[in-house]
Structures are given as structure tokens and as C-alpha cells.
Amino acid sequence: MTLDKNTDYFVSVSDTVLRKSHSSSATAENHLLMGDWLRYLDEDTANWAKVRCRGSTGWLPKNHFSDKRLLEINFVDIGQGDGCHIVTPDDEIMLIDAGEGDNMYRFLSWRYNLRNLKVIGVDGITASDNGARGPVDIEHVVITHPDQDHYYGFRNIFEDRKMRPLKIYHNAIVERPIKASDKNPSLKYFSKDDLGGYIKHNGKHHIWDVVHSSSEMHSLIVKHDRTTKRYLSTLREARKNNRNVKFSSLHKDIGYMPGFEESKELRLKILGPITENVSFQRQTRRGLIRLGAEGVTKNGHSVVLQLQLGKLKVMLGGDLNTQSEDYLLKHYGETTDDVSKLEERMFELKAKGSNLTTDEDQELAELEAQINAIITKARGTFKVDVTKACHHGSHHFSETFLQTLNPIATIISSGDGEAYSHPRPDALGAFGKFGRGIRPLIFSTELARSTKEFTDVFAYFERLKDFEQQIEDATSTTAKNKIKKQMEQAKDRNVVVYGMITLRTDGEKVILAQKIEAPTKLSQKWDIHELKFNQNLGQLEYVRSSKAH
């Protein structure tokens, strides 16, 4: 293979070892994953090439190189909440939620070297400065719904002018301050009021004060330019960062996320929320049905995306709950019944064991047949290979809905600082029970953290205390700032190795990987699980886990 210094290269095999010299027996410098970016250093032999990758320099076999960028999905450990970082094969950045704190921001800071980046107009950098450049564009931001543990982490990102959001997608529900004088007496309001008014249409209540267009969102931000409401103030920071940022709601009737249509290599199909045309005071809007109380409604109408590249399908949703899964199954499973009520009655009958009457036995058989028919129908839409668990492994889910997904792998994003014990034991059991294959995979950012509970945590804090002492002892502002930057970089990297689950794929082969907590050698830093397409089954299947080199 002939290599060119000016070409981007990537690791083409599931994993490989970067060696100190051009020999498979040479000392290991690092353990690399499929899709890792390689910087060719213009030195090679017939079969090996010298590269820089993941902060290390060494040699790789040339047959482990590819000039094709893969799809990369990183489920970042942002603590309690959701945060997903995607790099597309076209090298576009997409963020789906960002948690509540600054972990996603720190991940991006590490990933794109923001601490050292010279961006024109930031920190006094001008176009004439050596190495000056424009900000890192975040082409696509998706806020699945207005819950703080999904959106508030974007505030840190939007405030940093070294990054620039271009498009922000949301579910059309926008929390905003509503004064008594703002209320329409013909509308009803939630107890907290801030989701806007809702109406009764065809016997059902729908949120009327939805925000779909970019102009509507810009106007709302301007109208409430001093609000301390966290959702609007977060979006306000995005608008301050980029006055041309485009806002747009996502819903099922759009079909596909713009730029990722059915004709594209990478497709993002919008499965939810489902809107309905509702009329009020001679106007018609795409309203969202009220699913229950305020929290149930805004969670249940989370943006749900089905990503597809080649043979791989991944479901990326927010905080779906039992009510919203019932609603989705009515639509996609072509039923008029709440599936959760069918399940409840079926479990009630099964609990009677052999004491069922003839009529009850017949009812149970009919219920099972009805639920199986719904699963078969809805699976045509929802079946995927990998899914992000909705609502951090909450117990608010439908067993029938899980069966329609039937994934090989489920990835749970959860944290320690929460009051719900996510992921719930019954959710973990159900993920395994209704997963595909002999050994369904369950990943958890909380369980994957590469930090020991006592010694290493204290050692990390000791390191931070040492940084603080160095800052205090520094004799100049320049020296203090240099040490502060080193400390922030250490914090950034701690997030990266904390508990991230990464997925890499070319659409035919898939790897899911997490860092090993205490690697015994540099050649075995990742725990890797591989999926491959089985022509006989017509679907991806789990084929192996990593072995020590």
C-alpha cells in the first residue's frame, strides 16, 4: 500500500497494537481501535508504516490502514443523564444530549484540543497569529427533550467560542416563563405552567404552544432575553455564540433528519415524537398529545432516532416511558389498546397458574396472540442491533416495546448522583431477557468507569490539590495560567477514560468497546465486543469478545 502524508488514514481492523519498531514482536506502545485516526509520519518499510495515534508514536502493519472514515458513536459518561457524541463518515460532529454538568464539554475539550486551539476572536487571537483558525463547527445538536440531565450540559459548550453550533434540533416543547397576563383564557395549563397551554381536540388534550420553526425559537429567545429558565437560557447562549444558528423541531412526519435522508449512506429516521394536526381559534398546528403530568409528557415526547449505516441499525432516544411506549405502539403496532394494560391483564392471569377457568384460559391465549401480533407489526419499524436504554434504565417501560427492539446490545447511561437507583434491577433483567442472541450485551457508563473506588480516587484528588498548590506558589500570572491549563487538561482526560462506551462501524462490521480498568499491558487496554453480519440469518450477530494479545 502506497501512503501519502497529506491523506487521512484510519485503523481498518477491529483492534491493533502500535509497536515500537516494525515487528509484531516489538514492544507495544498503544492499543488502537477500528476507526482511530492515524497521522502517517512519512516513514515506512514494505509492510509497516510509522504513525502518530492516540498520543503515541509507533509502527503499524500497512494492511491495518484504510483511507475511509468510519462511523463513530461515543456514549460519554456524563454522570446522571444522557450524552452521545457522533462523528459521521463525512467528518461531521453530532451531539445528542449533553448531560447536566460539564463532562461532555470536557470530553470535547480533550477530543478537539480546545485548551491549545487558537481561534480567531477568542483570547485575543487575530487572523494574523500563527496557527489561528475558525471555531470547531458542531454541525448537528439534538436535544431530545427539555430535562436538565439531557440539555443543561450544552450551556458550557455553547458558551465556549472555540466551538460553534450550526443546527439545533428539539422536540418542539420549550419551557418558558408564563405570566398571568400571557395566558390565553381559552387554554388549559400544566400546574407548573412553563410548557405552555394545551387544548382539547377530538376528545384528547394536546400541547398547543409548540415551537417548530427557527424563527419562532429566535423570537421566543429574544422575548425572554433575561429569563433564568434554564432551557431558554441555554438556547440563548447558542444564539449568542452564533446568531445564524438554525433551530428546528423533529417529529415523525418529517421522515428523516435533514441531511440524513433515505437516499444517504448514513440515515437518521425520526420515529418520535408523533404530532397531530390540531385546530384552535382558526389556526392549525402540529400539536403533541398530553401523555400525563408535565414530566411524563415532556419525557414521553423525546426525539427518537433510528440510525442506519449499511447493515447496522441503532436506536437513539431520550426518556421514553410506559405512556409514550403505549402511544408509539398504537401508531406503529396498529392497535387501539394500551399495551401496558394488556400486559397487566396477561400477567394477572398467568399468576393464577393452573387455577384458570376455561374462559380465563381462552382470554389469556387471545391476549398473548394480540401482543405477539403487535410485536410482529412494530418490529418492522423498531427492530435494531444496538439501542441506548431509554430513561437511564428506569422501571417505566413496556416489555412489549423492548421485544419490538430486540437488540444485540443495550447501552445504559446513568450516574451515581441520583435518587432513582438507575439502572433498575428489573430493567437490567428485561434488557437481557428480550435481547437478541444467546448472550445479549448490556453496557453501562456507570459500570465501565476506569476509576477505583478508594485509592485511585484519592490519588486523583491529591493530584488536583498538588495543582492548586502549584498555582498558589506561582510567581507570575503567566505561570499560574499555564498550571491552570494543565489542571483543566487533566480533568478533561479523566472524563475521557471514565466510563465511555464507543461504537465503531463501516456498516458491515461493528465493534463496541470500553476501557479496561486496570490493564496489565499496553497491548490490552480495551475490552472489545464484535458484531458481524450473518448472511444465513440476514442480520448482525455477536461473534466475539477481545482476547489478550
pLDDT above 60 (res 418): no
**Does a structural domain hold residue 531?**
no
Is residue 32 classed as helix, strand or coil in its secondary structure? strand
All three cell numbers of 218, joined, read: 429566535
Q: How far is CA 307 from CA 130, 300, 314, 376, in A?
A: 40, 20, 5, 21
Give which of 315, 316, 314, 272 is closest to 297, Cα–Cα: 272
Same-domain status, 118 and 164: yes
Domain boundaries, position 256: 72-444
Domain-embedded: residue 47: yes
User: What pLDDT, on a 0 to 100 scale, did the predictor assign at position 194?
Assistant: 80
Q: Cell numbers 479523566 correspond to what residue?
A: 494
pLDDT tens per residue across span 250-288: 999 999 999 999 999 999 999 999 999 999 988 999 999
Is residue 36 in a domain?
Answer: yes
pLDDT at residue 546 tops 80: no
Write out pLDDT tens, residues 45-93.
999 999 999 989 999 999 999 999 999 999 998 877 789 999 999 999 9
Give per-residue pLDDT as tens, 193-224: 588 889 988 888 999 999 999 999 999 999 99
- How many C-beta atoms surround the C-beta of residue 453 within 10 A? 8
340 and 484 assigned to the same domain = no
Answer yes or no: is pLDDT of 446 > 70. yes
Whether residues 179 and 300 share a domain: the answer is yes
Spatial distance between the Cα atoms of 7 and 42, rounded to a whole number of angstroms: 11
Any domain includes 504: no
Average pLDDT over the chain, rounded to whole?
A: 89
Residue 369 is predicted with a pLDDT of 96
Shared domain for 60 and 94, answered yes or no, is no
Task: Based on the fold, state whether residues 434 and 467 are members of the same structural domain.
Answer: no
Question: What pLDDT, on a 0 to 100 scale, did the predictor assign at position 549?
Answer: 40
Above 50 in pLDDT, residue 455?
A: no
Residue 547 maps to a domain? no
Q: How confident is the model at residue 160 (pLDDT cuts 50, 70, 90)?
A: very high
* Least-confidence region, from 109-113, 342-346, 390-394: 390-394
Q: 46, 68, 90 — which closes off a domain?
A: 68
Q: Is the pLDDT of residue 548 over 60?
A: no
Same domain for 285 and 150? yes
- More confident site: 496 or 390: 390
* Model confidence pLDDT, tens digit, residues 347-363: 999 999 999 999 999 99
Span 395-417, average pLDDT: 83
CATH value at residue 18: 2.30.30.40
Of residues 317, 215, 217, 306, the one with CA closest to residue 256:
306
Q: List the CATH number of the domain containing 259.
A: 3.60.15.10
Residue 429: which pLDDT band, with cuts at 50, 70 and 90?
confident
Same domain, 422 and 463: no
> What are the E-state strand segments in 191-231?
197-201, 204-207
Mean pLDDT along residues 165-182:
92
Task: List, for residues 284-336, the tens digit of each pLDDT value.
Answer: 999 999 999 888 999 999 999 999 999 999 999 888 899 999 999 999 999 99
Same domain, residue pair 96 and 54: no
* 130 and 148 together in one domain: yes
Which residues, in sequence order, are CB contacts of 445 under 8 Å at separation 6+?
75, 76, 77, 78, 411, 412, 413, 414, 415, 498, 499, 500, 501
Alpha-carbon dihedral sign for residues 398, 400, 403, 407: negative
Q: Are residues 124 and 48 in the same domain?
A: no
519 within a domain of the structure (yes/no) = no
Residues 376 and 463 in one domain: no
User: CA–CA distance from 246 to each of 93, 142, 218, 224, 457 (Å)?
Assistant: 16, 12, 9, 18, 42
Q: How many domains does the chain have?
A: 3
Angstrom distance (rounded) from CA 393 to CA 412: 6
Q: What is the pLDDT of residue 78?
A: 80
Residue 31 and residue 90 in contact, taking contact as beta carbons nearer than 8 Å: no
Do residues 173 and 146 make contact, with C-beta atoms less than 8 angstroms apart? yes
pLDDT value of residue 547: 53
538 in a structural domain: no
402 and 483 assigned to the same domain: no
Average pLDDT over residues 99-128: 92
Q: Is residue 334 part of a domain?
A: yes
**Boundary residue ending a domain (68, 98, 119):** 68
CA–CA gap between residue 529 and residue 508 (Å, rounded): 14
Last residue of one domain, picked from the residues 24, 45, 68 = 68
